[in-house]
Amino acid sequence: MHITVQASTLVLILVGVVILGFLARGLTYRRTRTRMRNAPVAPARKSWRVKGGPIARKRDNGAIVARKHGIERSPEWPAVAHQHLLKEPACRACGHRGQGLQVHHIKPFHLHPDLELDPDNLITLCELKGRDHHLLLGHLDDWESYNPNVRQDVKRFYKMSDSQIRADPAWQKEERQRPFA
């Protein structure tokens, strides 16, 4: 059995298959994005840009841990965090400026609620791929923990990457002895 098809018909079939492929991919992409956009996310507060104004919502690990202890963020927290970033607009551990900065509580606010809005209890740390100083130096690699020596550690590990910090014996010792809330 032999089937004969004209070249123009074959080209039309091929073009149709390609168009259907692109349409199917576009629909799948839209469904995935919609699903991700509607997926439940831990409640978060707005992060603040140094030049003012809110940026995309980000997971607020401090609020999540505090909520486990029955403490909620103060409604004044976004304004206090914004003011802190105006005063201290760079990561204290590496000098990074711009997106990815977080305002960290030196003494966790769920343990010391009276210090949540105290400017002396705040330090700017970054959350960037390859140098997540907020997690490594502020929380000793565990969001449930905190680092009472964060001010000294940002000086000791200044400009170090994640891997350099994790490889440091002094940091490893601190991590093993980290306090949990």
Q: What is the pLDDT of residue 116?
A: 93
DSSP code of 165? H
What is the chain's alpha carbon radius of gyration, rounded to the nearest angstrom?
Answer: 24
Instruction: Give the C-alpha separation, 155 to 61, whole Å.
Output: 24
Nearest-angstrom CA–CA distance, 126 and 133:
5
Measured CA to CA, the distance from residue 90 to residue 154 in angstroms comes to: 12
The model's pTM: 0.67
**Residue 44, pLDDT above cutoff 50:** no
* Residue with tokens 């206090």, as numbered in its chain: 80
pLDDT beyond 60 at 60: yes
70-92 pLDDT tens trace: 989 999 999 999 999 999 999 99
Q: 148 in helix, strand or coil? A: coil
Q: Closest Cα to residue 130, out of 165, 168, 174?
A: 165
- pLDDT (0 to 100) of residue 22: 77
pLDDT recorded at residue 136: 95
Q: Mark 102-129 as b/e (b = at least 16 C-beta within 10 Å).
A: bbbbbbbbbeeeebbbeeebbbbbbbbe
Stretch 30-35: mean pLDDT, rounded?
46
Q: Is 67 exposed, middle or buried (CB count within 10 Å of its CB: 0-12, 13-18, 19+)?
A: middle
Q: Rounded mean pLDDT of the chain?
A: 83
CA angle 138, 139, 141 (to 5 degrees): 120
Sole residue written with tokens 């909620």: 72
Res 159 pLDDT > 90 = yes
Phi/psi at 3 (5° precision): -110, 135
